Amino acid sequence: MKTVLKILLLTAINPGFITSFMDSSSYLNAEASFMAFLMALLQALVLYFLITSHAGISKTDMLWKTFLIFYGVTFFQSGIEAYVFLKYMTNNMDAQAIQQMALFGLTTAIVVSPSAVFLFWKEKEKQERNFLPTNVKLKRLSLIALIYVIIYVAFGALVFIPLAGDHFKSYYGELPNVPWMLPFQYVRGFLWAYLGYAALTLISGNRKTQIGVITTIIAIPITSLLFPVNDLMPAPIRLAHFIEVGSSMITFGLICGMFLTKKIKPIPAKS
């Protein structure tokens, strides 16, 4: 019961949920407030799952590492994607809106992440943690980044565009064909993989638990941002993105978790 109350408390102090009541239109709109509540609740559950799975690390380490992971997966990755598509390529977002979004994301991470650690962290004996040798880590992260690009393109073409229908062109217009888009997504894929690896180094448990933590960290926070009603996206675009991002990031998270947790084969001793 205490755990449930702590999760609800973390949900209630999430700025994304609080602002839904500060906005008069959202206050009068029960659906908008409920969607904001779901977003905040999912973020609280993900942080609970991550923090309670820790492998006996210190509270200080948990504080700053959880902040970096939560901010990275929830706001930084979505922010640079939004900037590229909504400002640079379509101009659907002005500079002031970008600054407000960046500041709001940082504020939310500063409030929610440390609060989650103080609510859920319990001291444990130090347990075995997963650290990959540098050469193995770089190879796996690079491969995972390539897989991300494939998933990104495939789900965009096969899921998002068909679901958005005519709303796609009316919202995005004719997107320019820029040569750096795939390299940009490769960098994002590498960052996703590294954030997954960072989460892995904090936790203990069997392989299934580790894959579960990595998948939820990668997939749930960024998808949760598409729950609330917002002024940037019309409902059909937001719904299509929600299905596309949710399904693609769960798929990617599982693949990322399986690659990162794969045991290294021992090198046989020379006779």
Alpha helices in the chain (DSSP H): 2-12, 15-22, 24-27, 30-52, 59-71, 77-82, 95-120, 134-155, 161-164, 166-172, 181-200, 207-224, 235-260
Angstrom distance (rounded) from CA 68 to CA 55: 18
Spell out the long-range contacts of 263-267 with Cβ–Cβ below 8 A and sequence spacing 24 or more: 264/132, 264/133, 264/136
Does residue 111 register a pLDDT over 90? yes
88 three-class SS: helix
**Taking residues 182-188, what's their average pLDDT?**
96
**Taking residues 101-128, what's their average pLDDT?**
90
Does residue 48 register a pLDDT over 50? yes
Angstrom distance (rounded) from CA 111 to CA 67: 10
Task: Name the pLDDT band for 68 (thresholds 50, 70, 90).
Answer: very high
* In the block, residue with structure tokens 């997966």: 73
pLDDT of residue 160: 95
Angstrom distance (rounded) from CA 47 to CA 112: 9
203 three-class SS: strand
CA-nearest of 71, 76, 64 to 187 is 76
**Taking residues 64-93, what's their average pLDDT?**
84
194: Cβ–Cβ under 8 A, 6 or more apart, which residues? 141
234: Cβ–Cβ under 8 A, 6 or more apart, which residues? 167, 171
pLDDT of residue 62: 93
* In the block, residue with structure tokens 């859920």: 120
Angstrom distance (rounded) from CA 73 to CA 113: 12
**Taking residues 158-164, what's their average pLDDT?**
95
DSSP 134-181: HHHHHHHHHHHHHHHHHHHHHHIIIIIHHHHTHHHHHHH-S----TTH
Q: Tell me the C-alpha to C-alpha distance, in Å, between residue 191 and each of 61, 72, 133, 188.
A: 20, 9, 18, 5
**Taking residues 229-247, what's their average pLDDT?**
89
The DSSP secondary-structure symbol of 76 reads I
Least confident of 75-79, 87-91, 203-207, 218-222: 87-91
